Amino acid sequence: MAERTVAVTADLTPAELEQLLLERPDYEVQLESLNQWQLAWRRFRRHRLALAGAALFLALVAIAIIGPFFVHYDYYEIPHPDELVYAGRPPSWISGDWDPPLLMGETARLQRDILGLVVNGARLSLVIGVGATIISVVIGAVWGGVAGYFGGWLDSVMMRIVDSLLTLPILFLILVAGKFLGRGDWPSVMLIFGLFGWLGLSRLVRSLFLSLREEDFVDAARAVGVSDGRIILRHILPNTLSPIIVAATLSVAGVIIGEAFVSFLGFGVDITQPTWGNVLTSSLDFLQQGNWWWAFFPGFAIVLTVLGINFMGDGLRDALDPRARI
Binding interface with other proteins (CB under 8 A): 49, 160, 163-165, 167-169, 171-173, 175-177, 179-181, 253, 257, 260-261, 264-265, 267, 280, 283-284, 287-288, 290, 292, 295-296, 299, 302-303, 306-307, 310-311, 314
Identify which of residues 243 and 299 has a Cβ nearer to other proteins in the complex. 299
Identify which of residues 62 and 303 has a Cβ nearer to other proteins in the complex. 303
Are 149 and 209 in contact by the 8 Å Cβ rule? The answer is yes
Q: Which amino acid is present at 190?
A: M
Identify which of residues 236 and 256 has a Cβ nearer to other proteins in the complex. 256
Q: Which amino acid is present at 134?
A: I
For residue 39, the minimal CB distance to other proteins (Å) is 23
Beta strands in the chain (DSSP E): 5-9, 28-32
Residue 28: strand pairing partners: 5
For residue 255, the minimal CB distance to other proteins (Å) is 12
For residue 172, the minimal CB distance to other proteins (Å) is 6
In 3-state terms, what secondary structure has residue 280?
Answer: coil
For residue 305, the minimal CB distance to other proteins (Å) is 8
* CA atoms of 30 and 268, how far apart (whole Å): 57
* CA atoms of 30 and 41, how far apart (whole Å): 21
Identify which of residues 76 and 180 has a Cβ nearer to other proteins in the complex. 180
Radius of gyration for the alpha carbons in the chain, expressed in angstroms and rounded: 25
* CA atoms of 106 and 289, how far apart (whole Å): 14
* CA atoms of 254 and 251, how far apart (whole Å): 5
Identify which of residues 34 and 161 has a Cβ nearer to other proteins in the complex. 161
For residue 178, the minimal CB distance to other proteins (Å) is 9
28 backbone dihedrals φ, ψ, rounded to 5°? -95, 130
Identify which of residues 111 and 310 has a Cβ nearer to other proteins in the complex. 310
In 3-state terms, what secondary structure has residue 8?
Answer: strand
Q: Which helix (H) or strand (E) holds 200?
A: helix 199-212
For residue 17, the minimal CB distance to other proteins (Å) is 24
For residue 168, the minimal CB distance to other proteins (Å) is 6
For residue 265, the minimal CB distance to other proteins (Å) is 7
* CA atoms of 319 and 38, how far apart (whole Å): 10
Identify which of residues 70 and 180 has a Cβ nearer to other proteins in the complex. 180
The DSSP letter of residue 273 is S
* CA atoms of 209 and 249, how far apart (whole Å): 20
For residue 267, the minimal CB distance to other proteins (Å) is 8
The DSSP letter of residue 214 is T
Identify which of residues 85 and 181 has a Cβ nearer to other proteins in the complex. 181
Q: Which residues of 247-279 are buried (b: 16+ CB within 10 A; e: fewer)?
A: bbbbbbbbbbbbbbbbbbbbbbbbbebbbbbbb
Identify which of residues 131 and 254 has a Cβ nearer to other proteins in the complex. 254
